[in-house]
Structure formats: structure tokens, C-alpha cells
Structure 1
Amino acid sequence: MPKAIRKKLVVVGDGGCGKTSLLVVYQKQQFPVVMYLNLSFPSICISDAGTKYVPTVFENYISVVHLDNGKSVELALWDTAGQEDYDRLRPLSYPETDVVLICFAIDQPTSFSNIQDRWLPEVVHFCEKIPLILVGMKIDLRKNDKRISELNAVGHNLISYEEGNNLAREIGAKYFECSAMEKINVNGVIEAATLEAMKPRGLTKKLCSIL
């Protein structure tokens, strides 16, 4: 019986950019929704439909990814907390990582600038030579006139595909966009990451460290 192919994916990015929703939607094919106000969360988002929802705490899952080449991969999905309070704990997620998704929300300019200011330095430090995929989240907001107006009122715009793609080239990553809420390209992001994780990187794999 052939040995199972096992790979590990870690997702990083600012808090609230959509990391957890991406993984939950991929794993469960359902956007994380709660129908009550949970005061333990610092912020509650309201959807256009008026439903209260928050990103739930995502446990690490093993998901079997079936690729177009006929291979199946047992992919460990590791979510991480983006808040600075977790900066000392997050590195514990990095050892044995095969691919890293660095995420930002297209309606959160700070999450975009933090890719180079914060996330890339951290990932390169702990996961040298590991493949990177930059992911622009919440692309459904490109159709949301209210959110666009809110950003324009404070001198900002949604991050464009071109801006994301240019940054990806600059940092040596591939670029994808998706919407967890509308389930747009969620599977595509994970499948692309799996393919990157399977690419050979020499005879000896460079291990992520926590030093």
C-alpha cells in the first residue's frame, strides 16, 4: 500500500482578515455564523442580511485534498491568531510547515501593508525557503457600494487585483483571491497551496524552526 502523502499548511495574517473563515468554509463548506451576541469576542461583524457573525476558533484539521493529477494529500490545516497578544505563541505553529498562506483583506489597507512590515519577516525567519501564497480575502466586497463608500470617505480604496499580484511578485509568492462568504475560489486556494507544498525543494527539506 503506497505511503500516504502528508503536508502541513499554516495560515497567517492580521486578525479579522478572514483566515479562519477561509479554513472553515473549505473544511465544512459553510460560512461560520452565530445567531447570538457572544460578549467574549472583542468585535462582532454584521452581514448585509443582518446576521451577527464572528470568526470561530478554528481547530487544526486534517483534510484530504484530491488533486487533478489523481493524487490525494492529507493536508493539515493550521490557523493562527493574528493579534499581537499571540506573537509569542504563533511560532509554535511553524515547525514542519510545507506551505504558508499569507492573507490580507482587500478592504483593510493595514492588513495589506502588514504583509511586508510584519508577516513576511516573521514567516521568512521561522520558515526559510518554504513556499508562500499571498491571498486577497473578501473579494465579494468589490460589489459592496456601502463598504467602498466608507473607505473612500477616509481616503482609501479597496486593494485591487493588480496591487495584490504586484506585491506577490515582489515577495516571491503566488497570488490568489477568494471570498469565504460567497465560497469563491476557496477550494482553488487550498488546492494551489497543496500543489506548492508537494514541489520538491532539494534532497533535504528545510525545516521551520521556533528559535
Structure 2
Amino acid sequence: MTLTPQKIVLLGESGVGKSSIAIRYFYNKFNSSIEATIGATFINQTVQVSTDYEVRLQIWDTAGQERYHSLTLMYFRGAKGVIIVFDVTNQASFRKAKKWFEEILLKGLENSKVVLVGNKIDCQTSDRKVEKSKAEEYAKENGIMYCETSAKTGEGVKEMFFNLAKELPTHTQQENSDLELSYTDTDTEENQTSETTNKGNCC
């Protein structure tokens, strides 16, 4: 059975739920008060794409605060997949997601698989500020995938990672060895360097 490591980077403004999505996917749990990421945290998760093919996602959850912007750009290197997250209740976060996509193009990652993710779909309909049709239109215009998730309920999270894994190119262990040099499996909650912030109850 083929096991291929693939580097995935999570991008998005602070508070959109990047860490909550990663924790939901890895631990299948949710915490309404979560610590803001400083730098990046790293987890591994294996995805069974088919009966004879597995992908080991090396998921980098990056800081969303503007002061860490230049540091976050460092984690782009070697990324085969990029997940750009915005909060469907926050128009500004959608505009920021578009800017992150522009950064990806500037960094020469146009061949990476990109997923635009609208998170917090568990919120009240009246609280939603970014219509699904608008986000889908933007994704279609730019040739990227679009998914919607709720880290709070888990809706769409596994499906999003699975759909991305299916689209990733096949590489051998040797071709991806640069991703393995200095990293081991990391417990997102216990080993990250972080500062406390309350992201609210809707993630």
C-alpha cells in the first residue's frame, strides 16, 4: 500500500476557526475558547484515498494575526495543498482570504491544490454575511475548490480534507523527504506555542 506524505498549509485571518478545524479533524472535538496560534502547529493525519493508496497529510496550522504574516509565508515552501479559511459571518475575513490567494500566486504556488473554506456554517442564518453563491463564484473564477464547514459540529470537515487528499499529486517518499527532516507528530493542544484569546462560541 502506498503511503505518500503531503504538506498542507492552513491559512486565514485570526479567529476564522483554522485551529478548530484542525482539532476537529484530528481529535474530533471542539473547544469554544481556543488559543491563538503563534507561528504554526503541525499534525499528521492519514487519509485512505482508495483501497491501495493512502495519503499522510502533514497539516500546518499557521498564525492569522497580521504581525505574523511574514512568518506565515515561510511555511508555504513545499506545500502541495493550501486551505484558505474564512468566517461566513465576517465579510472582512472573506476579503482577507482573497488576499491570501493572491499571495499564493505571488509565491509561485499556482500548481498547489487550493481549497477555499467557509467556516462557521452552524451560525444563525441571519448572522451569515458571505453568501455561499458568492464564495462559490469566486472559487470557480479562480479554478479552486470550495467547501463549507462547521468546526463546532464537524459538518463538512472530514469531507473537505478527503476531497483535497484525492486531488493531491502522487509522490514517492524520497521526493517528499524534505518534509520529514526535522518534524515528528505533534499534539496540537499540548505542544503549540500560543497566546490565549476567546474566539467565541461559533466556530
SS in 2 for 1:140: coil
How big is the shift at 1:123?
1.3
State how far apart, in whole Å, the 1-side matches of 2:136 and 2:104 are. Answer: 19
Partner of residue 70 from structure 2, selected from 88, 103, 119: 88
| Matched residue, 2:106 | 125
CA distance in 2, matches of 1:125, 1:72: 31
The one-letter amino acid of 2:34's match is V
Q: Which has the higher strand share?
A: 2
TM-score (norm 2): 0.76
Note if 1:180 corresponds to 2:151.
yes
Q: 3-state DSSP class of the match of 1:88?
A: helix
Letter in structure 1 aligned against 2:106: H
Q: Which has the higher contact order (CA 8 A, sep 6+)?
A: 2
Kindly report which structure 2 residues correspond to 1:128-167, keeping only aligned pairs within 5 A, or say none.
Answer: 128-141=110-123, 144=124, 148=126, 157-167=128-138
Give % identity. 26
Shift of the alpha carbon at 1:55?
Answer: 4.2
Shift of 1:113: 1.6
Runs of 4+ residues deviating >3 angstroms: 55-58
The reply to whether residue 54 of structure 1 matches residue 53 of structure 2 is no
Distance 1:56 1:13 in 2: 12
* Match in the other structure for 1:25: 24
Structure with bigger gyration radius: 1
Task: Please state if 1:193 is matched with 2:164.
Answer: yes
For 1:54, give the aligned amino acid.
I
State the one-letter code of the partner of 1:122.
E
Q: Which amino acid aligns with 1:172?
A: G
- Whole-Å separation in 2 of the counterparts to 1:69 and 1:198: 17
Superposition TM-score, scaled by structure 1 size: 0.73
Q: Distance in 2 between matches of 1:56 and 1:68?
A: 35
- Using the alignment, how far apart are the partners of 1:199 and 1:107 within structure 2? 36
Query: Cα RMSD (Å) of the superposition?
Result: 2.4
Write the distance in 1 (CA, Å) between the matches of 2:49 and 2:111.
Answer: 24
1:14 — aligned with what?
13
Structure 2 regions of 5+ residues with no counterpart?
Answer: 177-203
Tell whether the 8 Å contact from 1:98 to 1:197 is kept in structure 2 after alignment: yes
- Give the aligned residue type for 1:136: G
Separation in 2, partners of 1:120, 1:54: 25
Contact 1:21 1:32 in 2 (8 A): yes
1:160–1:69 CA distance, 2 compared to 1 (3 A): farther
Is the Cα–Cα contact under 8 Å of residues 32 and 55 in structure 1 kept in the other structure? Answer: no
